[in-house]
Structure 1
Amino acid sequence: MTSTSFKVVIVGAGIGGMAAAVGCGLAGHEVLVLEDAPAIGEVGAGLQVAPNMMRILSRWGLSSTIISDSVSLTSVHIRRWANGALLGVAPVNKSFGDQYVIHRADLHRALYDRAIALPNVEVRVNSRVMTCDFDAPSVTLASGEVIKADIVFGADGIKSRLRQQMLGLEKDEPIPTGDAAFRVVLPRSAMEHDPDLRELIDSPLGTRWIGPYRHIMAYPIKAHKLYNMVLLHPDDIDSEESWTAKGPKSDLVNMYSGWDPILQKIFALIPEEEVLRWKLCTHRPLPTWIKGKVALLGDACHPMLPYVAQGAAQAVEDAAMLSHLLSSSSTTRNNIPGVLKLYETARKARAEAIQGTANGNRDNLHMPDGKEQQERDRKFAQVFSGGENPDKWGDPAQQRFIWGWDAEKVASEVLRERSREEVRSQL
């Protein structure tokens, strides 16, 4: 528990916003979460709870909930697009912890329920933030209401209104990458009658089908009751930047025509209008994430492409770092801007490096058929015996960098270093 309780206003009730509410709420701060939408809805599909996120969620008392709603992957099978031939098997490195996969709605609900169970956390829907006073700080809602705070967190996503105002931009649009994704979730009942498909949903395995300019990642979720698929491809049909936009199944079928016959069996089971379509967008690295007593977090400052499965994890790291720094005994209302500078220093370079890794992994997975692809596939065949993994998600050095990081431990180190600098300055 913090020695000084602050009033924390969080703009946005997504995974990053609710994680910040849990972290700050458990520390004893007065937390108000403001959400545009009229209700807290269940959207999206599967995502990965990597070890760097799970260790934080465990400290927040959420491990049993996460485990009961998820599957712990044991390995990832890499398959060729045209015939499903097994190119390689990459065991999941569990030296940093299990690699869980979960429905996004289950993770969000776990964070939301944990937050609102705290007496010092409130979530308000239908509360659109229009402007922010970065120094006061305060936010003004569409209704005209002004809400004052000690600190404001902008967790309002890739289309962040707070980011646009912080940077003084007249126009601040996400940048399309040229790729898009289909997201599909199938129930066990649809797959269990076919032996090939039943094996997919029964096994604690991730499967990557890789081919020219596109790939598919799939795995069971919800304790093997659902099968989740994300299908990444060139954005030839002008998708929306939305978790909830739907498209016709025919678009998916046409995009992956000629791929593995097992995939074609899966596609045949997908109901019409049950395909989520998502434009993959990014944002150039920002000059700053902070201004006055306001800090951005999650997609508002470092939107992640899904190629190393770190979008949710990086938002949770931001939330853990911010709540830990804010709850230090040395943090006062007067030095909040300096504390936010510590957050930016500790988090910005790391998050942007992971953004870069995700971008590079796309090229490795989407190689057109040819000599480079054949050399890549030769490396995949050696992965099980400890060879180099062309998929950066499974690369040991990348795993150490991404999964081995502890946001709260680093926050403590940053605070200790600041204390040492203050002592040195007085000598």
Structure 2
Amino acid sequence: MDALAQAPLNVVVVGAGIGGMAAALSLGRRGHSVTVLETAPKLLEIGAGIQVAPNMFRLLERWGAGEALRKTGCVVRDVSLLRYERQKLLGRSPMNTQYGQQYVVHRADLHNAIVDKALELPNVRLRLNATVDDVDFDQTTVVLKGGEVVAADVILAADGIKSIIRGKVLQDSEDVAIPTGDAVFRVMLTRDQMVDDPELRPFIDEERATRWMGPNRHIIAYPVRNHQMYNIVLAHPQRKDLDESWTAVGSKKSMLEEYAGWDPRLVKMLDMVPEGDVLEWKLCSHLPLAKWVRGNVALMGDACHPMLPYVAQGAAQAVEDAACLGVVLSSIRSKSDLPLALKTYVQARKTRAERVQSTGTETRTQLHLVDGEEQIERDRKFASLSVDGVNPDQWGDPKMQEYLWAWDAEEDARQAWQAATSGLSMVEEIPQAKL
């Protein structure tokens, strides 16, 4: 168990998603009183597959949620890299297990594992149907729909990409969302749909993810829930006005049209998807925010650094935020140190999170090359992965994996706090992994 906080705080977390509940767990384990406010009347099993990278899994393991994830997740041993047509295998990228296993799970299973461990703690409380309408930064309170005022020593805004608190923190500056020109379909198949087809059964059986690449499009797919479900995520050019929300229903007809002529096995899988089970949303990149903190209110997760999905780090970076907050808020000796703790949180997390954020554009470019010389050179590199290890797909690149997966957010936060309280320069004194 983590060392208890020297000055236990009354913490309000706005949003009961993965980041918010991870913050509740990280802080609750250290003895803080945590109240999580969630708009929804109940926590629903929504979403589909999600990758649990080693930098996130190690933290959740420490916090007691690892066992549940191992029971429901699937290990990925390697990634098959395929050209979009004729089932052509370009290469295979083995997972680097130096930093731990790469798990893929259903998002609901990840969320439930964190929620269950957090709510085991007597000092963590989840309030559903509690919508935050306003924030008083001078008093460190939130006002709920209906007028109730909830006071705190510190407020953590984990209210997602459409955060209402973000705009209040930023005041005159703003969050700039820039459409990438891409949209994403997400679908799920069951084992029963695939297991009797000799062409499709290997996809659900093997400990392998599959990446298809074609002009202006790519797909990542993998099994989840002990190989009982198959998750497929399909990036393609945005054709119509869409919401930046991964719960909006899309068109099966449009999905099939976008991938007509692709690998026949893939098309067969897409044709199996029931009408109404296709989700579609647009992808936007977000410029770094001017600030993450105002008073004793701090943004975290998608509220301050929403990620494109190309290196599978959105949830991981939110959990890293939670880990950092758990350390710095538990290191203060009195509530008067809160401003320093939140400043340290920003110093420790902002550069890293925004650096991870920026990797999406380069990865997208490589995955979406149109047929031609650049595409041929990229495919040559995929074919020689076992020889020189140079991977144009940054998710599989060894150097990028070291930067993403070797990171220990709790240890980094401890070093950041030590530097902050000893008056040393964060840049000079804290070593950071380099790309």
Band the TM-score falls in, shorter-chain normalisation: over 0.9
**Cα gap change, 1:145/1:175 in structure 2, threshold over 3 Å: closer, same or farther?**
farther
Within the candidate set 283, 293, 300, 1:280 is matched to 283
Q: Distance in 1 between matches of 2:249 and 2:83?
A: 28
1:230: which partner in 2? Answer: 233
Q: Secondary structure at the match of 1:334?
A: helix
Within the candidate set 406, 414, 422, 2:416 is matched to 414
Q: Distance in 1 between matches of 2:173 and 2:415?
A: 38
Matches within 5 A, 1:58-69: 58-69=61-72
Which letter does structure 1 place at the counterpart of 2:57? M
2:252: which partner in 1? Answer: 249
Which letter does structure 2 place at the counterpart of 1:82? E
Within the candidate set 367, 370, 379, 2:369 is matched to 367
Which letter does structure 1 place at the counterpart of 2:357? Q
Q: What TM-score does the superposition give when structure 2 sets the normalisation length?
A: 0.95
Which letter does structure 2 place at the counterpart of 1:68? K
Matches within 5 A, 1:67-78: 67-78=70-81
Q: Distance in 1 between matches of 2:336 and 2:145?
A: 29
Q: Distance in 2 between matches of 1:235 and 1:126?
A: 34
- Measure how far apart 1:173 and its partner are: 6.6
Is residue 34 from structure 1 mapped to residue 23 from structure 2 by the alignment? no
Structure 2, gaps ≥5 residues long: 425-435
Which letter does structure 2 place at the counterpart of 1:357? T
Which letter does structure 1 place at the counterpart of 2:11? V
Is residue 291 from structure 1 mapped to residue 294 from structure 2 by the alignment? yes
Q: Distance in 2 between matches of 1:282 and 1:358?
A: 8
Q: Distance in 2 between matches of 1:172 and 1:126?
A: 27
Which letter does structure 1 place at the counterpart of 2:149? V
Corresponding pairs, count = 421
Which letter does structure 2 place at the counterpart of 1:16? G
1:392: which partner in 2? Answer: 394
- Measure how far apart 1:344 and its partner are: 0.4
- Measure how far apart 1:41 and its partner are: 1.2
Matches within 5 A, 1:12-411: 12-169=15-172, 174-328=177-331, 330-411=332-413
Q: Distance in 2 between matches of 1:169 and 1:214?
A: 37
1:161-199 residue CA offsets vs partner (Å, 9 max, x unmatched): 111001115975743322111111111000001111101
Q: Distance in 2 between matches of 1:105 and 1:122?
A: 20
Q: Distance in 2 between matches of 1:387 and 1:166?
A: 43
Q: Distance in 2 between matches of 1:387 and 1:119?
A: 48
Contact 1:383/1:389 (<8 A) preserved: yes
Contact 1:245/1:276 (<8 A) preserved: yes
Contact 1:308/1:392 (<8 A) preserved: yes
- Does 117-126 or 212-221 show the bigger shift? 117-126
1:133-174 residue CA offsets vs partner (Å, 9 max, x unmatched): 223211111111111100000001111111100111597574
Q: Distance in 2 between matches of 1:311 and 1:403?
A: 13
Which letter does structure 2 place at the counterpart of 1:227? Y
1:5: which partner in 2? Answer: 8
Q: Could you list the runs of 4 or more consecutive aligned residues of structure 1 that deviate by over 6 angstroms after TM superposition?
A: none
1:227-265 residue CA offsets vs partner (Å, 9 max, x unmatched): 111001111133322222112211110111110111111
1:355-399 residue CA offsets vs partner (Å, 9 max, x unmatched): 111121000100000000000000000112233100001111111
Which letter does structure 2 place at the counterpart of 1:48? Q
Contact 1:215/1:231 (<8 A) preserved: yes
1:24-65 residue CA offsets vs partner (Å, 9 max, x unmatched): 111111100111112111111111100000110000011110
Q: Distance in 2 between matches of 1:93 and 1:266?
A: 29
Contact 2:174/2:289 (<8 A) preserved: no
Which letter does structure 1 place at the counterpart of 2:128? V
Q: Distance in 1 between matches of 2:54 and 2:130?
A: 34
Contact 2:213/2:367 (<8 A) preserved: yes
Q: What TM-score does the superposition give when structure 1 sets the normalisation length?
A: 0.96
1:63-116 residue CA offsets vs partner (Å, 9 max, x unmatched): 110111101100001000011200010000000000000011110111111111
Contact 1:331/1:339 (<8 A) preserved: no
